[in-house]
Amino acid sequence: MRVAAHTDQTVHEILQSMVKKGWRITEQRRTLATLFAHAEGYLSPRDVYDHMTKKYPGMSFDTVYRNLRLLSEMGVLEQFYLNDGLKFKARCQSHHHHHLICLTCEKTYTFEFCPMPSVPELPASFDVVSHRFEIFGYCSDCKQSRKQEKEADKEDE
Amino acid sequence: MRVAAHTDQTVHEILQSMVKKGWRITEQRRTLATLFAHAEGYLSPRDVYDHMTKKYPGMSFDTVYRNLRLLSEMGVLEQFYLNDGLKFKARCQSHHHHHLICLTCEKTYTFEFCPMPSVPELPASFDVVSHRFEIFGYCSDCKQSRKQEKEADKEDE
DNA sequence: CTAGATGCAAACGATTTGCATTACT
DNA sequence: AGTAATGCAAATCGTTTGCATCTAG
């Protein structure tokens, strides 16, 4: 199956969504948009804060949270509860698909197969609204590092 | 497709898991086991606390959390982040399957179809560890109440 | 200019921890 | 009896809120 690196929303698309909603484009929001447009996986509020404060040392956590929440409500970002808390990434706007998610680096890889068409008939009494299908594992990069760790462990014995 | 009401672990099975791990069976843990064995859907720590304090008015929140965590680590309970926080339910031990989840009452309905066998070949470079597939919607009970609410809304106009 | 965005500090809710007491085994 | 489980209170963490100040439009 064709599995693509995550296709991002462009910075421009994200900023456009903000403008459409009548929100102001501040320096920080521009940087935030750039961050998410280029991110390959899920980011925690902490990740975002750390990244932003490098450029804007005065930036506060509540501004990060405020913008994450606003962008989520707007549909620009999607949330996902991963291992150790809520994470965010730019929602794929293009088309419906699912993800491979690396348990180590939390990068996502798009794949096109959707199981819903092959699901046998569900009870008519249940109104289907949405579904989720994710495959978890280790991407080639992280698999590599895990392998090396194991070998290092053996040497210790 | 055959969709069954959730098949629970029995109280006995849950207690056995505790004993196997060398944990003591207290009055409260017995009640906790009974609660989860009979629960039809996900329970929040708050739900559990409310249920437990009816029987044991002195029971504290931290005991609820401690036991939820222990039971989760033991594999008796599974966690799920649903809308408004972390929820718990007895893990289905019997066999692999997936769930319909009602967005209102959070009850779960088991179905037997698993999409993994039909997934086209994934890149060999990705080590698959697990997957999740859930279908969200409204069960017949909650659909009914939603319908009634809508009608009530119309009358207000 | 002026509504919306930010920084600060404080509030808040959910969860965890330390310690003395209680109760399974 | 001895050790694990509990209750209590306080600490901690992540997230939200109120308000004065600042800034994009």
- Domain parsing of chain B, residue ranges: 1-93, 95-119+128-157
Q: What is the pLDDT of residue B106?
A: 86
CATH, domain B1-93, list 4.10.520.10, 1.10.10.60, 2.40.30.10, 1.10.10.10:
1.10.10.10
Distance measured from the CA of protein residue A62 to the C1' of nucleotide D16, in angstroms: 8
The predicted model scores a pTM of 0.83
Q: What is the pLDDT of residue B76?
A: 92
* Residue A6 pLDDT grade (very low, low, confident, very high; cuts 50, 70, 90): low
Single out the residue of B71, B104, B111, B103 nearest to residue B89, CA to CA: B71
Tokens representing B112 are 């037997």
* Residue A83 pLDDT grade (very low, low, confident, very high; cuts 50, 70, 90): confident
Distance measured from the CA of protein residue A19 to the C1' of nucleotide C1, in angstroms: 21
Mean pLDDT of A63-80: 94
Q: With beta carbons under 8 A apart, name residues in chain A contacting B137.
A: 126-130
Across the interface, do A122 and B135 touch by the CB < 8 Å criterion? yes
Across the interface, do B111 and A122 touch by the CB < 8 Å criterion? yes
Strand partners, A102: A137
CA atoms within 13 A on the CB side of B124: 0
Which has more pLDDT, B79 or A144? B79
Q: Which of A27-41, A65-79, A80-94 has the lowest mean pLDDT?
A: A80-94
Mean pLDDT of A27-39: 94
Rounded to 5 degrees, what angle do the CA atoms A62, A92, A137 make? 90
Is any atom of nucleic acid chain C found less than 7 Å from the CB of residue A123?
A: no
Query: Among A115, A119, A135, whose Cβ lies nearest the Cβ of B128?
Result: A135
* Residues of B within an 8 Å Cβ radius of A: 1, 3, 81, 86, 100, 102-103, 109, 111, 113, 115, 118-123, 125-140, 143
CA dihedral A29, A31, A32, A35 (to 10 degrees): 160
Q: Which CATH architecture has domain B95-119+128-157?
A: 2-Layer Sandwich (3.30)
Q: What is the pLDDT of residue A121?
A: 86
Rounded to 5 degrees, what angle do the CA atoms B38, B77, B46 make? 70
Torsions phi, psi for A147 (to 5 deg): -60, -45
Q: With beta carbons under 8 A apart, name residues in chain B contacting A111.
A: 122
Q: What is the pLDDT of residue B93?
A: 76
Mean pLDDT of B28-51: 94
Q: Residues with Cβ < 8 Å from A19, sequence gap 6 or more? A: A25
**Res. B4: pLDDT tops 70:** no
Percent of chain B with pLDDT over 90: 63
Transcribe chain A into DSSP letters: --EEEPPPPPHHHHHHHHHHTT----HHHHHHHHHHHH--B-B-HHHHHHHHHHH-TT--HHHHHHHHHHHHHHTSEEEEE-SSSEEEEE---SS--EEEEETTT-BEEEE---SGGGSPPPPTTSEEEEEEEEEEEE-HHHHHHHHHHHHHHHHH-
Which has more pLDDT, A109 or A145? A109
